Chain A
Amino acid sequence: GQNIDQPTEMTATEGAIVQINCTYQTSGFNGLFWYQQHAGEAPTFLSYNVLDGLEEKGRFSSFLSRSKGYSYLLLKELQMKDSASYLCAVEDSNYQLIWGAGTKLIIKP
C-alpha cells in the first residue's frame, strides 16, 4: 500500500528552528516534494528532492534518505508568516503525487 506520515501539528517560536518530518512507504519513488499551504489558500511549491542529502534554499532546507523512506523540512529563523500547513508528497513511478495529510505549523511570538 501507499502511506505517507507527517505529524498533525507542531508549535514553534518566532526566530527559532523547526524540523517537520515525513516518512513514506510507496510502491514507486521518483522524488519527494514539499509544499506550503496557508489557511484558505492553494498549496505552493517549496522543494523537490530525488537524491539523498540536504537541499538548501534560503531559510528552508529539505533532506531525503531514500533507504530509510524519510524526509524532513527544516525552517530556520521562523517568522510569523511561516504559520501554515506543510505538505509532503511522493512522486510515484507514474509521476503522480501521493500526498501526506500535512503538518500544521503554529508560530508563537
Chain B
Amino acid sequence: NAGVTQTPKFRILKIGQSMTLQCAQDMNHNYMYWYRQDPGMGLKLIYYSVGAGITDKGEVPNGYNVSRSTTEDFPLRLELAAPSQTSVYFCASSYLGQGQPQHFGDGTRLSIL
C-alpha cells in the first residue's frame, strides 16, 4: 500500500533556484494538502485542493504555487527559493467530510543556502 508518496526526500537549493516537490496518492482521496513544518512549530497550511482543477490558498501561500490536474497528483512549486523556505514539507490527503483523518507522506526536507 503506497498511500501518499513524496519526492524527493531531501534537497538543497541555492537562493533564487526553483524546484517542484512531487506528491501522489493512490487512495482516491478528494482532498490534498501541502504543509510546512518548522522546528518547534505546528504544521502550517500552504495550499490545498478539494479536487482536480480546484486549488486554494492556505495560511502561508506566498512564494509557492500548486496545480491539480488529476485526482492523484498535487505538485508544489517554489519559483525563487529563499532561505525562509528552509523547512520540512508534508503532503497529505483525505476523503471529503467531517472527521476524516489526513494521511501524510514521509516529507521533503528542503534547505535553501
Which positions in A face B, CB cutoff 8 Å? 4, 8, 30-31, 33, 41-45, 48, 50, 87, 89, 91, 95-97, 99-102
Contact = CB atoms under 8 A, between A and B. Distances in A.
Nearest to A33: B101
A49 B90 CA distance: 24
A44 B101 CA distance: 9
B19 interface: no
Interface residues of B, number: 22
Given A42-B107, A44-B104, A30 B98 contact: yes
A98 to B, nearest CB: 8
Interface of B: 31, 40-45, 48, 58, 90, 96-107
Contacts of B99: 30-31, 48, 50, 91
A68 to B, nearest CB: 20
Residue with the highest number of chain A CB atoms closer than 10 Å, among B31, B104, B107:
B104
Contacts of B103: 45
Contacts of A45: 101-103
A33 B102 CA distance: 10
Contacts of B104: 42-44
B3 to A, nearest CB: 10
Given A42-B106, A100-B42, A101-B41, A48 B48 contact: no
Contacts of A97: 43, 45, 102
Nearest to A46: B101
Nearest to A42: B104
Given A42-B107, A43-B43, A44-B104, A95 B90 contact: no
A101 B40 contact: yes
